Amino acid sequence: MKSKRILDALLAPMVAIIFSVVLASVILMLFGANPIETFSKMINYAATPRSISLILNSATTYYFSAVAVAIGFKMNLFNIGVNGQYRLATAVGALVAGALTFPGYISIPIVIFVSMLVGSLWAGIAAWLKVYRGVSEVISTIMLNFIAIGLIAYLLAPSMLGVQTAENVVGTPVIPESGRFPGFSIPGSQVPVYGMLFLAALLGFAYWFILNRTRFGFDLRSVGQSPSAAVASGVNVKRMTMYSMLLSGAVAGLVGLPLLLGAQYSFTVNFPGSYGFTGIAIALLGRNHPVGIAFGALLWAFLDVSSQILDLVGVPREIIVIMQGVIVLSVVIAYEITRRVKVRRQQDAVGKATAVAQ
Amino acid sequence: MRRVIKIASVLFAGSLVLAACSSSDEAAVEENAAPVVKVGLAYDSGGRGDGTFNDAAAAGVDRAVAEFGVEVNEVEAADADGTPERAERLRLLASEGYNPVIAVGFAYSDALAEVAPEFPDTTFAIVDSVVDAPNVGSLIFAAEQGSFLVGTIAASASKSGKVGFIGGMEIDLIKAFQAGFEQGVKAVNPAATISVAYMGPAGDNSAWNAPDRAKTAVEGMIDKGVDIVYAAAGGSGLGMHQAIAAAGGSAKGYWGIGVDSDEYVLPARAEFKENIVTSMLKRVDTAVFDVIAGVVNGSPLTGIQNFDLSRGGVGYSSSNPVVSAFASVADGYAEKIKNGEITVSSTLTE
């Protein structure tokens, strides 16, 4: 029974991936490229130690982002504000990290805490607006993204707290050696793997545990599935909305830290700003399940990293964007179809059962 | 739950479609019979065909291909790239034997600082930034000097005495354009007023590609009596041309000033060429060509290379014959800048 359930869960993503590969092959052939050659180049490149490091690193970042989004999804909340939350959180975290000269085991936890707090407070604004003023979080979180960008630009102006880190590049003071999160190396790769990979795994477990093994998680899921039923069973929906947005924001606060503490060491105007949207896609792909999200993040990172080699061999790397889009769309469609089939089957069964009873 | 997922999928799919549309076509590069030098060119986001900055670099490479028959491979950054992605792009080019490897844009600074020491035998170059390594040529430009010259042209050409400046992202790099432009305008017409608008704060990458915002800003300027506008805003500059064309263009006395490339001759701006009085030329093409020439001739260009007016690194374009009416003024100031009589500041005075 259990293995059948797993097979059911895997069916939709597998179909989606195959469909996207087929579609990408057709497009590649239209461009005059050989699909088999192209895919084997992607896979060969992805199998090198350096690419594996890069894939693990990107996947770590994506995982945090997708879990932040998934916490909202579980509550029927759509947090599009992960971008703004993590950027502000990372900028403030970078300022704190740049100023601290404690040993790493003291300063890194402080930076992680500060970033989670900032992300959580920024999401808290949207949560407050939703709970007490009825403002849809879809609108408020998007708007807060823009405010966050403006606020960061203000904070990082050289007249405020920013410094010039290179010609034409303004950012936070560079984080001292002691404040960096140690990574580890895969033999043959000069790119270290983020140590925060383990934190991501830990977060995945905590997410699963809280959701499935605690009363809080039960309340959260019940509100997401049916607010009226949740109210009837004594759940305070307003409070749960508040908590889950704060929690989502806190996790969003972690999104920028692997890159900040593991590779870039300074928050600059060039800091990537759209991991939040990637997180939405991966949360959809992984069905908000901690293991599903992990696979989704790895798949996404693999596609992103291998786009580099496509660019080099002259294949338009937009093919990767198309594949990513097709995978997400077909996963969502496949789930919707299987859901409808299931509902119809159930109705049939119920209909037959009642007919027999009469 | 399902409602949310539907909204999310639609939004996400939409953003993907937009992203795919905005990407430019990859230009095919023909291989030459006996390639000696393989040039690796890493564009910033936008790539070849962006109408200004990246296209200027592309022009330099095209010239090198024509003159030396070098082989070229061009790759392009994505908007979402961080330092690791940019570093990997440079590393791939260098490890595939491309030499020189040219990084277009200051966003590659940290990435190049990381990668350059790994390939001591490869010559690297970076546009608009300084990377301190023995095998890196740092190509920087005195944009304030060129902007000063187009400022004198703007002040001479304006009938209302009101000129405008459209900046991309509000960072020091672009403020230098504004500073030079304002000094040039004031040198010719101290009573002139200058309207300024930036398309986004530091860190807002959309500022480089927001023609809609630029169009609205320029329309507002025109309403206030501005009749000539200078845009240093990457892809957003298109909006300035649209607004000026909508106001009646050069026939009604409204002019635009281009930036980086000679926009008068750019195919991407053909529709607006009659309204483009001149362009501030930031000769990224010359710099890129010089780097390639250095490697071809066996004397790589390294260290800080300051492309200023006296080196021909910046200037203004004379492609539009209309500009000849103002050329004597601009050329007079150019001489004064070259011989040091005038020093153009790259920072705003206030």
Report the share of chain A in percent with pLDDT over 90.
56
CA A30 to CA A41: how far, in whole Å? 18
Mean pLDDT of A225-235: 89
Nearest to B80 by CA among A305, A293, A51, A41: A305
pLDDT of residue B62: 93
Contact A77 B4 (CB under 8 A): yes
Assess if CATH 3.40.50.261 describes domain B25-141+285-307.
no
The answer to whether residue A128 scores a pLDDT higher than 90 is: yes
Q: In this predicted structure, what is the pLDDT of residue B4? A: 58
| Chain length of chain B | 350
Give B305-309 contacts, CB < 8 A, sequence gap 24+.
B305/B137, B305/B138, B305/B139, B305/B140, B306/B140, B306/B141, B306/B142, B307/B139, B307/B140, B307/B141, B307/B142, B307/B282, B307/B283, B308/B141, B308/B142, B308/B145, B309/B142, B309/B145, B309/B146, B309/B149, B309/B334, B309/B337, B309/B338
A297-327 pLDDT tens trace = 999 999 999 988 988 888 888 888 888 998 8
Residues A92-102, mean pLDDT to the nearest whole number:
92
Q: How far apart are CA A20 and CA A29, in angstroms?
A: 14
Distance in angstroms between the alpha carbons of the first and the last residue of chain B: 53
CA B183 to chain centre: 20
* pLDDT score for A357: 63
Tell me whether B12 touches chain A (CB under 8 Å). Answer: yes
CA B309 to chain centre: 16
Distance from CA of A154 to the nearest CA of B (A): 8
- Please, are residues B184 and B151 in contact by the beta-carbon 8 Å criterion? yes
Q: Is the dihedral of CA B181, B182, B185, B187 positive or negative?
A: negative
CA pair distance B97, B294, nearest whole angstrom: 17
- CATH 3.40.50.2300 spans which residues of chain B? 25-141+285-307, 143-282+320-338
Q: Residue A198 contacts by C-beta under 8 Å, 6 or more apart in sequence?
A: none
Q: Which helix (H) or strand (E) holds A335?
A: helix A318-357
**Tokens 């006395």 belong to residue:** B253
pLDDT of residue B14: 53
Q: What is the pLDDT of residue A318?
A: 83
Q: What gap in Å lies between CA B111 and CA B118, rounded to an integer?
A: 12
In chain A, which residue's Cα lies nearest the Cα of B2? A76
Residue A247 located in a structural domain: yes
Residue of B nearest to A311 (CA): B75
Q: Which chain B residues are Cβ-neighbours of A78 within 8 angstroms?
A: 4, 7-8
Q: Which residue of A has its CA nearest to B176?
A: A168
Give how far B73 is from chain A: nearest CA, Å. 7
Q: Is the pLDDT assigned to residue A337 strictly greater than 60?
A: yes
How many C-beta atoms surround the C-beta of residue A187 within 10 A?
5
Q: Shortest CB distance from B109 goes to which of A73, A166, A304? A: A166
Q: What is the pLDDT of residue B9?
A: 58
Cβ–Cβ of B75/A308 closer than 8 Å?
A: yes
Beta-carbon neighbour count of residue A132 at 10 Å?
Answer: 10
Q: How far is CA A232 from CA A74, A97, A130, in A?
A: 19, 46, 21
A70 assigned to some structural domain: yes
pLDDT over threshold 50, residue A258: yes
Find the DSSP H helices in B23-163. 53-68, 83-95, 109-115, 143-157
pLDDT for position B239: 95
Q: Cβ of A275 and B80 within 8 Å?
A: yes
- Distance between CA A189 and CA A46 in Å, rounded? 12
The domain that contains A271 carries what CATH number?
A: 1.10.3470
Q: Which of A58, A170, A274 sits opposite B79 (nearest CB)?
A: A274
Please determine, for residue A109, whether its predicted confidence score (pLDDT) is greater than 70.
yes
The answer to whether residue B306 neighbours chain A at the CB level (below 8 Å) is no
- CA gap B190, A146 in Å, rounded: 37
Q: Domain range holding A63? A: 34-314
Tell whether B7 lies on the interface with A, counting CB pairs under 8 A: yes
pLDDT (0 to 100) of residue B11 = 54
The answer to whether A259 contacts B83, with C-beta atoms less than 8 Å apart, is yes
Q: How far is B166 from chain A (nearest CA, A)?
A: 18
What was the pLDDT predicted at B34?
A: 47
Per-residue pLDDT, B172:
86
Contacts of B38 (CB under 8 A, 6+ apart): B70, B71, B72, B73, B96, B97, B98, B99
**Inter-chain CB proximity B13 and A264 less than 8 Å:** no
- Is 70 exceeded by the pLDDT of residue A114? yes
Q: Mutating which of A311, A328, A329, A331 best tests the B interface, going by the most B Cβ atoms within 10 A?
A: A311
- The domain B143-282+320-338 is placed in CATH, from the list 3.40.50.300, 3.30.1330.10, 3.40.50.2300, 3.90.1150.10, at 3.40.50.2300
pLDDT digits (tens, 9 = 90+) for A187-220: 888 889 999 999 999 999 999 999 999 999 999 9
Q: Give the closest of B28, B84, B131 to A57, CB-based.
A: B84
% helix, strand, coil for chain A, step of 5 = 75, 5, 20
B132 contact residues in A (CB cutoff 8 A): none
- Subunit contact A308:B85, Cβ cutoff 8 A: yes
Those residues with Cβ within 8 angstroms of residue A314's Cβ, 6 or more apart along the chain or in another chain: B26, B28, B73
User: What is the pLDDT at residue B120?
Assistant: 93
Which single residue is written with the structure tokens 């009873």? A357
Q: In this complex, do B85 and A280 lie within 8 Å of one another by their Cβ atoms?
A: no
Task: Write down the ipTM of this complex.
Answer: 0.85
Instruction: Look at strands B314-316 and B276-282 and give their pairing.
Output: antiparallel
Query: What does pLDDT average to over chain A?
Result: 90
The shortest C-alpha distance from B9 to chain A (Å) reads 7
Domain for residue A220, yes or no? yes
Query: Residues of chain B whose pLDDT is less than 50?
Result: 1, 17-35
- Residue A189 domain-assigned? yes
Residue A281 has pLDDT above 50, yes or no: yes
Distance CA A85, CA A74 (A): 19
Whether residue A268 and residue B110 make contact (CB cut-off 8 A), yes or no, is yes
Please tell me the predicted confidence (pLDDT) of residue A68. Answer: 97
Is residue A265 within 8 A of residue A250, CB to CB? The reply is no
* Domain tally, chain A: 1
Closest chain B residue to A276, measured at CA: B80
pLDDT at B199: 94
Which one of A149, A269, A271 has the shortest CB-CB distance to B171? A269
Distance linking the first and last C-alpha atoms of chain A: 31
Rg (Cα) of chain B, in Å, rounded? 21
Residues of A in contact with B174 (CB under 8 A): none
Note the pLDDT of residue A351: 87
